[in-house]
Amino acid sequence: MNFRMNRRRRLYEGKAKVLFEGPEPGTLVQYFKDDATAFNNQKKGTITGKGVLNNRISEYLMTKLGEIGVPTHFMRRLNMREQLIRKVEIIPIEVVVRNIVAGSLAKRLGIEEGTVLPRSIVEFYYKKDELGDPMVSDEHITAFGWASPHELEEIMSLALRINDYLSGLFLGIGLKLIDFKLEFGRLWDNDEMRIVLADEISPDGCRLWDVRTNEKMDKDRFRQDLGKVEEAYQEVAKRLGILPEGIIPQEIRPEASEKDE
Ligand code: TMP
Ligand code: ASP
């Protein structure tokens, strides 16, 4: 534990990240762990260097999205495992966008993995670990007041814009964006509220397949014990051009990366 981590108040610990109080009001520090879970915490493990890579990958993608006008919680990366973010009120909904059938959709509807969807599909899941994040419809979301109809409209349109942009970005580096999960939050600017993209975008919450071989390059390698898990995360970062070859593997060790840059 370094100085920075000790002096900050830990506010929340999730499965893959820890949130600390930020240096200024309205900010938080998001720390990326190497811990990985799947199937609602039933499978647990570590993916060495994942935290360092996801910190960079999420920084890169959120910055790019910011440049095309998608508001995000990301402010700046602080060091190997931490980034400064705006404190938002998280909307308790996981927004999943799908382009190609995989995962729970393949299972639930008995459709073959890899089937191209006639159009992108947006799904909502209620964020509640005890219940295993059940799928819900827009009706549940608005009836229970988790988000207003107006907020949900904004979330849908942002999610589809993000999908269009990221699909193109990944295709450019030889990866198909099969599906991914987003979280949104409310950010107040004086009296005005904005919906912003929160959490992270990384191979933990995306399915990415190599365009040529259809090889899985994401957390499914961990979920399904496919091996070469670390290598897949490294390859995604490398293709995005954010992994200088020399930094692997020494600098992504947990001990080495807790030091500030
Ligand atoms: P699914 O096919 O298991 O429903 O997952 C769809 C996408 O959402 C996939 O890219 C993985 C991501 N995801 C998460 O990030 N967190 C979760 O808890 C779940 C269930 C899926
Ligand atoms: N991250 C979720 C969990 O731990 C599910 C998943 O990604 O498969 O359970």
Kindly state whether residue 252 falls inside one of the protein's structural domains: no
pLDDT for res 7 = 75
Counting beta carbons within 10 angstroms of the beta carbon of residue 44, is it exposed (0 to 12), middle (13 to 18) or buried (19 or more)?
exposed
CA of 125 to the centre of ligand 1 (A): 10
From the CB of 41, is ligand 2 less than 6 Å away?
yes
Mutate to test the pocket of ligand 1, among 17, 40, 96 (most ligand atoms within 8 A of CB): 96
CA distance 108 to 226: 22
Determine whether the shortest distance from the Cβ of 96 to ligand 1 is under 6 A: yes
Q: Please tell me whether residues 37 and 21 are part of one structural domain.
A: yes
Q: Is the CB of 205 under 6 A from ligand 1?
A: yes
Q: Is the pLDDT of residue 4 over 60?
A: no
Pairing of strands 82-86, 89-90: unpaired
Same domain for 49 and 161, yes or no, is no
Residue 122 domain-assigned (yes or no): yes
Cβ–Cβ < 8 Å for 46, 35: yes
CB 159 within 8 A of CB 199: no
Same domain, yes or no: 62 and 101: no
- The confidence score (pLDDT) of residue 244 equals 55
Task: Identify whether 230 is part of a domain.
Answer: no
Q: Residue 49 belongs to a domain with what CATH number? A: 3.30.200.20
pLDDT of residue 5: 53
Does the beta carbon of 22 lie inside 6 Å of ligand 1? no
For residues 114 and 168, state if they share a domain.
yes
Q: Are residues 79 and 159 in the same domain?
A: no
Judge if the beta carbon of residue 48 lies within 6 A of ligand 2: no
Residue ranges of alpha helices (H) inside 68-114 are 103-109
**In what helix (H) or strand (E) does residue 113 lie, and over which residues does it extend?**
none
CA torsion, points 114, 118, 122, 126, in degrees to nearest 10? -60
Please tell me the distance between residue 25's alpha carbon and the centre of ligand 2 in angstroms.
31
Distance from the alpha carbon of residue 41 to the mean position of ligand 1, in angstroms: 13
- Ligand nearest to the Cα of 180, by number: 1
Taking only the tens place, the pLDDT of each residue in 83-99 is 999 999 999 999 999 99
Q: What is the distance between the alpha carbons of residues 177 and 209, in angstroms, rounded to a whole number? A: 7
Q: Which domain holds residue 181?
A: 89-210
Ligand 1: centre distance to CA 39 (Å): 9
Q: In this predicted model, what pLDDT tens digit does every residue of 117-161 receive, in sequence order?
A: 999 999 999 999 999 999 999 999 999 999 999 999 999 999 999
* 258: Cα separation from own chain's centroid: 21
Of all residues in the chain, the percent with pLDDT exceeding 90 is 89
Q: CATH number, domain at 134?
A: 3.30.470.20
What is d(CA 217, CA 203) in angstroms, rounded to the nearest whole number? Answer: 7
Closest C-alpha to ligand 1, atom 2: 103
- Rounded Cα–Cα distance for residues 94 and 40 (Å): 13
The answer to whether 68 and 165 have CB atoms below 8 angstroms apart is: yes
pLDDT in tens, 33-55: 999 999 999 999 999 999 999 99
Structural domain contains residue 253 = no
The span from the CA of 205 to the CA of 222, in Å, is 12
Residue with tokens 């935290």: 51
Does some domain include residue 231? no
